[in-house]
């Protein structure tokens, strides 16, 4: 009796290609195409990121000066007043800031304690304190 592993088979000609050989070849070419695509995609993404960065201003709102010392504040104003000031072209933020600077300068020169402006200074009781009436009365508005 003879074992199959003891046989030494030789074929002199070229082995015929089967469907598995064709399938393997297609897989290899597909993998190469995917690798090339990934490389090109990375280059395209880098270029588009650079183009996007060049188009975006240094500050999201397009402001040229630094705003690191600024804070966001929510103000509740009359609708008609806001619409009229916008029609007239007022910059509400800048107008309010300038007016507050003027008031602070005026009151710091007359009374350095300022405690009469805000009786709840340091407290967070928003129900009893109405800053718009107090500030308006003191400023003469």
Q: Please indicate, yes or no, if residue 118 is contained in any of the structural domains.
A: yes
Q: How confident is the model at residue 141 (pLDDT cuts 50, 70, 90)?
A: very low
3-state secondary structure string, the chain? Answer: CCCHHHCCCCCCCCCCCCHHHHHHHHHHHHHHHHHHHHHHHHHHHHHHHHHHHHHCCCCCCCCCCCCCCCCCCCCCCCHHHHHHHHHCCCCHHHHHHHHHHHHHHHHHHHCCCCCCCCCCCCCCCCCCCCHHHHHHHHHCC
Q: What is the mean pLDDT of residues 80-85?
A: 91
What is the pLDDT at residue 124? 43
Q: Please indicate whether residue 43 or residue 63 has the higher confidence score (pLDDT).
A: 43
Q: Please indicate, yes or no, if residue 11 is contained in any of the structural domains.
A: no
Same structural domain, 84 and 132: yes
Q: Please indicate, yes or no, if residue 131 is contained in any of the structural domains.
A: yes
Q: What is the mean pLDDT of residues 79-96?
A: 90
Same structural domain, 104 and 134: yes
Structural domain boundaries enclosing 98: 79-139
* pLDDT of residue 122 exceeding 60: no
Q: Please indicate, yes or no, if residue 3 is contained in any of the structural domains.
A: no
What is the pLDDT at residue 68? 64
Q: Please indicate, yes or no, if residue 104 is contained in any of the structural domains.
A: yes
């Amino acid at each position: 009796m003879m074992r199959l592993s003891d046989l030494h088979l030789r074929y002199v000609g070229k082995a015929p290609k089967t469907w598995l050989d064709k399938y393997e070849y297609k897989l290899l070419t597909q993998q190469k195409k995917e690798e090339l695509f990934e490389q090109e995609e990375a280059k395209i993404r880098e270029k588009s990121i650079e183009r996007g960065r060049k188009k975006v201003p240094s500050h999201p709102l397009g402001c040229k000066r630094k705003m690191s010392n600024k804070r966001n504040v929510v103000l509740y104003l009359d609708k008609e007043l806001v619409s009229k000031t916008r029609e007239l072209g007022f910059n509400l933020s800048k107008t309010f800031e300038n007016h507050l600077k003027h008031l602070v300068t005026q009151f710091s020169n007359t009374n350095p304690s300022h405690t009469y402006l805000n009786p709840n200074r340091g407290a967070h009781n928003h129900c009893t304190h109405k800053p718009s009436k107090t500030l308006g009365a003191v400023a003469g508005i």
